Structure 1
Amino acid sequence: MILALLAVGAIGGFLSGMFGVGGGIVMVPLLLWLARMDQRQAAATSLVAIVPTAIVGSILYGVGGQVDWVAALLIGAGTIVGAPIGAWLLRTLPLAWLRWLFIVGLAAAAVYLIFETPERGGSLDLSVGVVVALVGLGLVMGLAAGMFGIGGGIIAVPVLIALFGMGDLLAKGTSLLAMIPASIAGTIPNLRAGLVRLRDGLVVGLAAVLASSGGVAMAFLVPPALASVLFGLLLVFVVAQLSVRAVRLQAREKREREGDGPGEGSE
């Protein structure tokens, strides 16, 4: 189990550094498969590991001059509000809903990343409307962090590139910094609710931190178009695997309900 957790963290950390995401986008499915967690445990445990991963990743991008500190602060303010709401939804929504919402979100991100080529070098011009939009983006990131155990970077990076005109590296660095408060704000209520497998989360986080530097280095080397397509294809693979798993789980849950309930076949 320790080796499996280290592998989950290494993969998630490398992708976190390379693509500016928390790594939960991959760590959650891997925790489902390798650590036999349910969706709630996987999401909550992944979120713990994202905290140190995002801190280290944002520092590395910052050293390279690829963090917009003001934008990250505004987005982070929104995440603080959204993350506890997302954590509450994680505890209350049916697991089937969580599975399919997660899959749909991944599919939408994959389509964008495959068909849109980001630029390198764009910057952000602040205005009142942009400030409000950045806080709103943070709110959505916080909801995603609390509900799905992801840092929200899979949402922030495409949005910062497509709607705010940021270059791809700047979007990734800013995303990592902004997701730190979201991850912390989402983890606190999850800990109180007993959803987090804390030791497992720390093991995953340690491996992720060690691997994130390699991912950041790769981000600066790989052309933005290639990096975008590679990540999009990875998400397509994850969506396919999760969809198969979700269908199987729904079928099994339906059989269990029909077997346990009175008057089976009455419908």
Structure 2
Amino acid sequence: MADILGDRPGAGLLSGLFGVGGGTVIVPALVAFAGFDRKLAAGTSLLAIVPTSLVGTITYGLDGHVSIVTAAILAAGTVVGAQIGTWLLARMSQQFLRWAFVVFLLVVAVQLFLTIPLRDGSVEIDAGLVVGLVAVGLATGILAGLLGVGGGVIVVPAMILLFGYSDLLAKGTSLLMMIPTAVSGTVANVRRRFVSWRGGLIIGLGACATVTLGSWLARLLDPQVANWMFVAFLLFLVWKTVTEALRARRAR
């Protein structure tokens, strides 16, 4: 458990900087350093995302970079999707989850690399946007429950690429959307014994200390530079996960 303590600052910083819940660093770290299997790591990560996302939402919200209506629409899909994802989690192998995580990260990295986000992008809520956001939310929830990520690595690129949101508004709204998503997935994971309460709360509460710093850095960085930094981080996670998958295959 001592190794878990080291994950707290990184998870919080990434949450604030990129609008993600921190699961993209928590899950690999719990597997690599704390000896968790991927299912327990995914469930524990979702629990840790709750307090981290709450603090991040407040930080972005104070500057007006949160859309409550958009977050509510996304959450309508993610809450349902998270239940589907956690159901699938109980039925899939560790090795499949590793490679699914790699494919997922590569797709997001390519999307972000090709995106030039707008700092002042804005949208008008209409019927078409509502349908699109619900669909994105459903897909996000499934992957959140399955992979233990809060969904920000899906929602933020989708809001920027598909719907024209500014990068800061997308990040702040994503953090708000994650709260009901993570709570829903955690409830389902608790029933399936895929949660370490002590580990999740230690990581989540510790990450709250640095999420505000990450939010401040996000406002200072040029949006394109922030995107490239996120892509570099995702590629690092791809390398770590592929290494883990190959090591597990050789150990058979």
Aligned residue in 2 for 1:203:
202
What's 1:262 paired with? none
Q: CA deviation at 1:123?
A: 1.0
Between structure 1 and structure 2, the one with the greater Rg is 1
2:29, 2:94 → 1: CA distance?
17
Give the total of aligned pairs.
252
Q: Which runs of 5+ in 1 are unaligned?
A: 254-267
In structure 1, what is the Cα distance between the partners aligned to 2:5 and 2:19? 20
Contact 1:141 / 1:179 at 8 angstroms: preserved in 2? no
1:230 deviates by: 0.7
**Contact 1:79 1:138 (C-alpha < 8 Å) held by counterparts:** yes
Q: Which amino acid aligns with 1:187?
A: T
Shift of 1:132: 0.9
- Per-residue deviation, residues 24-46 of structure 1 (Å, max 9, x unmatched): 01111111111111110110111
Q: Distance in 1 between matches of 2:16 and 2:129?
A: 26
- Equivalent residue, structure 2, for 1:81: 80
> Secondary structure of 1:92's match?
coil
Structure 2 Cα separation of the partners of residues 122 and 6 of structure 1: 37
User: Which ranges in structure 2 are unaligned for 5 or more consecutive residues?
Assistant: none
1:94 corresponds to: 93
Distance in 2 separating the partners of 1:70 and 1:183:
18
**Could you state the TM-score of these two structures normalised by the residue count of structure 1?**
0.92
What's 1:261 paired with? none
Provide the TM-score with structure 2 as the length reference: 0.98
Q: List, as ranges, runs of 4+ consecutive aligned residues in structure 1 with deviation greater than 6 Å.
A: none
Q: Distance in 2 between matches of 1:124 and 1:182?
A: 23
Q: SS in structure 2 opposite 1:196?
A: coil
The answer to whether structure 1 residue 50 and structure 2 residue 49 are counterparts is yes
| 1:195 positional shift | 1.1
Tell me how far 1:120 sits from its aligned partner.
0.5
Equivalence map 1:41-190=2 (5 Å): 41-190=40-189
What RMSD in Å do the two structures reach over aligned CA positions?
1.0
Corresponding letter in the other structure for 1:108: V
Alpha-carbon displacement from aligned partner over 1:92-148 (angstroms, at most 9, x marks no partner): 111111111111101111122223221111112111111011111111111111111
